[in-house]
Amino acid sequence: MKRILILLVPVVIIFLAFRPVNSHTVTGTITDDSGNPIQAATVTVKGTSQGTSTDAKGTYRITAPKPTNTLIFSALGFEPTEIKISGRTVINVTLKSSSNQMQEVVVTGYSTKRSEKSLGYRGGIVSPTVSSQPIDGFYGFDQPREDFNREGYENITENIFLKATDNPLSTFSIDVDAASYSNVRRFLNQGQLPPAGAVRIEEMVNYFKYEYPQPVNNEPFSINTEISDAPWNKDHKLVLIGLQGKKIPTENLPASNLTFLIDVSGSMQGPERLGLVKASMKMLVDQLREQDKISMVVYAGAAGLVLPPTSGAEKTKIKDAIDKLEAGGSTAGGAGIKLAYKTAKDNFAKGGNNRVILCTDGDFNVGVSSDDDMVRLIEEERKSGVFLTVLGYGMGNYQDAKMQKLADKGNGNHAYIDGISEAKKVLVNEFGGTLFTIAKDVKLQIEFNPAKVQGYRLIGYENRMLAKEDFNDDKKDAGELGSGHTVTALYEIIPVGVKSSFLKDVDKLKYQKNIEPLSKSSNTGEMLTVKFRYKAPDGDVSKLIEHPVQDKQISIAKTSDNFRFAAAVAQFGMLLRNSEFKSNASFTDVISMARKAKGNDDEGYRSEFIRLAESAEMLAKAKPGNNKTDENVEEDTKPLSKNK
């Protein structure tokens, strides 16, 4: 008996060591030295991307992976503190006011004195600068802003079903951004459903890689299509259109002239903001080559050049400059953008990759700051041939709508960095696609055959829609495609003969002739024709590719993993948005389809999606008075107030 017990001991130890550990929820209140609640204080789980912020009463709620994790508490104007959970469920914290003193630094070029903290740099002389307007309401560590706790999202009006007889053409610009998915993930990881305005379905679909074939015949991309039944409506069809950008090996990429433009204003204080920016930039620096050149511009109350053009071989020098960044001051975003573009143009690499990389929460408030002013500024600057990458950081005050507009108008892309793993994905794993454009102004125009298609709806891309005349207009701006990038678009089709409440009738026209019967050419096997236009990165004249598509009546079970996984993500997005077109969509179907279509998932992104879908299902069920999985979720996911 004693011998048996001795043999069992190691087994029990191994079992205990590998037993699953349940997540641990902590609540509490954060106050200042006087006992006043601190609004918009940040609470993060150390070593993870999980975090939340306090409400107007200073209260928070966060779920940590383990009861042994450590929480980091920080707020603008206060000293951050770390506290080990140690199994507790309630942790109240008092933060001490920051005692950081602002030191003077001379900003040359305009003979203007600014505090070092207002420029967010500890490196001494900063030169040159672009002057900003006088700072009437300067706020650094001592004066938290009253409207700090808000995020800005655009209201999205979903694309509706259109009749193919009345609207045979559908035209839109591609979108390679994936910021919406990582932002939605942030909300779900914090235990709440995202605001509807944060859910851009095309960005969620395009977050994932799809196994499309590489292009041939020196084309910048391959065109791939697939048709089957719509998973959420058996009477409808779903059309997938996929682009695969040509993959250029890193060693063959042209030389880069990169200008880091880093927001070091007070709103960027904290490990999940400027701390994460610095870690992200260092990861990018590690990817650079000797022929690549890096400059760094920072902006807070004013803007300054803190690193002149430096070879990618001097990694230590670049990282030292990054380490000196500190947050504090107001936000002269317009001044920073002007100086960054000026720096990029002064060091323009002909035939190379010229790009400004903006790292910010989008909270501009000094000088040029309105959405319209910023868009006009970016539209003017993009004429120089310098592209723009916008990397979003932070929570509680993140200005998503502004970031989208800047990236769209700056011939660039937009990513939301919610943790170090996302920084690695964007700046390491997808280095070429993020920073190297292989085709610009890429547009798609789909012509539907009314003999086969009664009605259609483009899923997502609401802010990328174009007029049909824009397709042939080379002056009309559109999206960019990077090295190795994939772009996926989905259309939901109502076939001819299917009765649908989604298609609305209008009165007959008085002054127009009746529509002629369909010509014989319409009665082909083609359901639609896909047309593409694109320009070379330095070109002004577009090229055209046409691709007819037939419905081969393939059951969804026999479609590719690409098709089924993209359909699962789109269905998930419709549920989160509580789309009026979701029909019979359910989280159960999303999870089941995604599991079966997970395919090759070495990096674990598809597995993570399944986990997020499971979390969303539980959150939807947990809503007060809701005992169903797929009840409306929109009531609890209204966007926070926009930027004032």
Q: What is the pTM of this model?
A: 0.74
Fold type of domain 162-248+439-505+522-636: Immunoglobulin-like (2.60.40)
The pLDDT assigned to 627 comes to: 52
Q: How confident is the model at residue 22 (pLDDT cuts 50, 70, 90)?
A: low
Q: With 80 as the cut, is the pLDDT of residue 636 above it?
A: no
Fold type of domain 19-94: Immunoglobulin-like (2.60.40)
Percent of the chain with pLDDT over 70: 80
Which residues touch 479 (CB under 8 Å, ≥6 apart)?
A: 173, 174, 175, 176, 408, 441, 442, 443, 464, 487
What's the rounded Cα separation, in Å, for the pair 436 and 207? 17
Q: What is the mean pLDDT of residues 114-120?
A: 46
The ranges assigned to domains in the chain are: 19-94, 162-248+439-505+522-636, 258-395
- What's domain 258-395's superfamily in CATH? von Willebrand factor, type A domain (3.40.50.410)
Q: Do domains 19-94 and 162-248+439-505+522-636 have the same CATH topology?
A: yes
SS (H, E, C) 549-610: EECCCCCHHHCCHHHHHHHHHHHHHHHHHCCCCCCCCCHHHHHHHHHHCCCCCCCCHHHHHH
What's the rounded Cα separation, in Å, for the pair 333 and 263? 8
State the chain's mean pLDDT as an integer: 82
Q: Tokens standing for 234?
A: 């058996």
Q: Tokens standing for 526?
A: 């083609």
Q: With 50 as the cut, is the pLDDT of residue 596 above it?
A: yes
What is the CA angle 549-235-487, rounded to 5? Answer: 40
> Of 137, 149, 142, which Cα lies nearest the Cα of 363?
149
Q: How confident is the model at residue 395 (pLDDT cuts 50, 70, 90)?
A: confident
With H, G, I as helix, E, B as strand and everything else as coil, classify residue 358: strand
The pLDDT assigned to 522 comes to: 63
What's the rounded Cα separation, in Å, for the pair 199 and 574? 9
Q: With 80 as the cut, is the pLDDT of residue 2 above it?
A: no
DSSP structure class, residue 426 = I
Q: Tokens standing for 326?
A: 């500190």
The pLDDT assigned to 311 comes to: 95
Contact in structure between 526 and 549 (CB atoms under 8 Å): yes
Q: With 60 as the cut, is the pLDDT of residue 444 above it?
A: yes
Which residues touch 13 (CB under 8 Å, ≥6 apart)?
A: none
The pLDDT assigned to 219 comes to: 83
DSSP structure class, residue 20 = P
- pLDDT tens digits, 77-110: 678 899 999 999 999 999 887 643 333 222 222 2
- Mean pLDDT comparison of 49-53, 521-525, 550-554, highest-scoring range: 550-554
DSSP sequence for 28-64:
EEEE-TTS-B-TT-EEEETTSS-EEE--TTSEEEEEE
Q: What is the mean pLDDT of residues 160-174?
A: 95
- pLDDT tens digits, 495-536: 999 999 999 888 888 887 655 555 555 667 899 999 999 999
Q: Which residue has the higher pLDDT, 346 or 378?
A: 346
169-173 and 437-448 strand pairing = antiparallel
With H, G, I as helix, E, B as strand and everything else as coil, classify residue 360: strand
Q: With 90 as the cut, is the pLDDT of residue 595 above it?
A: yes
Q: Which residue has the higher pLDDT, 71 or 42?
A: 71
The pLDDT assigned to 135 comes to: 26
The pLDDT assigned to 99 comes to: 44
The pLDDT assigned to 76 comes to: 58
Q: Which residue has the higher pLDDT, 516 or 126?
A: 516
Q: Which residue has the higher pLDDT, 466 or 373?
A: 466
- Mean pLDDT comparison of 230-244, 322-336, 422-436, highest-scoring range: 230-244
Which residues touch 3 (CB under 8 Å, ≥6 apart)?
A: none
Contact in structure between 486 and 223 (CB atoms under 8 Å): no
DSSP sequence for 288-343:
--TT-EEEEEEESSSEEEEEEEEETT-HHHHHHHHHTB---S---HHHHHHHHHHH
What's the rounded Cα separation, in Å, for the pair 282 and 275? 11
What's the rounded Cα separation, in Å, for the pair 574 and 586? 10
